Structure 1
Amino acid sequence: MKTRIIAAALGCLFTSTILAQTGSVRPASPGEEPAKVVASGTLPDEASRAAILGKLRDLYGAANVVDRIEVGGVVPPPNWTEHMGKLLNANLKEVHKGQMQVNGTQVAIKGNVANEVLRQQVVSDMATALNPTYTVDNGLVVVAAAAQNVLDKTLSNRVVEFESGSATLTLTGRAILDEMATAIKKIGTPSVQVIGHTDSVGNRLGNIGLSLARANTVRTYLIDKGIPAESLSAVGSGPDHPVTTNETTEGRAKNRRIEFRLAG
């Protein structure tokens, strides 16, 4: 296993971790209290241990820091404790479900932040605090982008199916929406726009009406599955935004679809 140092910000659903020298970052185990910072691994001496634990307790509160650090048997880079202290600053509290990994002088941080300004600021401040021998890899993701990615992966290029020419869901369509309801709840039930699309066969205005009816059917189904009505809106785009050609049967089938977009 490579020698590494990891520090993670306090999260809501996962045990956040700072790991020095060796170990791993993981979600909280069943029965383990979430929303804690777990410090584990091996540090060179008691002074380093006390310094890092002190920083974490100042940031998150003593009651929220779990000490699993061991001491001895490792040789850190020059001024290691000083540099780690600079990394453990208030900006980490803006990162949720995240981790920071340091391999020698290479720092990698990932997790969720609220906006693009924070995404850049957290890493910029880290780079400024370190000497030029350190490099910082920014793996932070703006929450909206991460949440949209969950929706896209849940749909996974599948099509929410309806009975031909109607707004009645098929069994396959219902099964996909059951998964989507779970995904929307998982990402905190944000505002989601349900967008209906059709192929180009038939009258355009009729297709717009059908696409809206289908979007409303999906919205109603998700509400019945526990998604708040105020979190969902329905839009009918008809044939105006195809994802592929309407000249083939396969293309038309792909264009007849439902999209789920986070509302801005």
Structure 2
Amino acid sequence: MTDAVPPRRIFPTSRVDARAAEHVPSIPQTESAAYKLAFQDTDFLLREDLRPVRFQLELLKPELLLDEMKVRSTFVFYGSARIPDPAEADALIAAATDDQQRAIAERLKAKSKYYDIARALARLASSAPAEGDGWRNFVVCSGGGPSIMEAANRGAHDVGEETIGLNIVLAHEQLPNPYVTPDLSFQFHYFALRKMHFLLRARAVAVFPGGFGTFDELFELLTLIQTGKVRPLPLLLFGAEFWRKVVDFQALADEGVIALSDLDLIHWCEDPAEAWAFVQAYYED
């Protein structure tokens, strides 16, 4: 009689069977797509009726890998993909070919200060110490692209901390910016799943001037908080001059389509140190 502990599994793992399937002899039956292991059959996984499975995969993959990397919570950055690094702003103006382009380039240059502000705020957030068991909070998370997203990842990179990029497949080529930690660089097909992952671990969100994508992310978050689908969290809105020009928040309350108290969901910011102090005080109460 032996006291040996039996193995936990009695069936071969998927990896074992996947390797075995690579060496199956070639005959008409094994060459058919029907014979492929379902989880290795890309054409099968891309079928229209497999969409629910693909949804689940896009939910699970980042969730499991972020857990393995001990990411407890995130500090999410939203903002334009077009606002330049201040060092590149003059080149944008020089490249303008008419008065309209030049005027736009000058306005983008004026907003280039937010690149530095986002970068500085990301450095501060990345200073949050890890918990005793190694789990980390306020890990900087962006959409993984250029401009404000790059600035956020760059700020974390400046201080040697890991940082997340949630990229998405678009019609035009989009690569992760070079400051995203490779093992925390994710690519999505579904906008819905990407947006869910932005908020699953979020403990603070900073929103900078931006276009349609930024509006989408900002107003979805405001709606989720307003309706109680997401617990309140620090929502930092940078660039009051920009936002009050393009959205009249007060008018929404005056017209009665939102409550006056809904305006309190937003904390207006311009200074990264003040913003980080606000977040810290929010969780100390």
TM-score interval, normalised by the smaller of the two chains: under 0.3
* TM-score after normalising by structure 1: 0.23
More helix by share: 2
TM-score (norm 2): 0.22
Higher strand share: 1
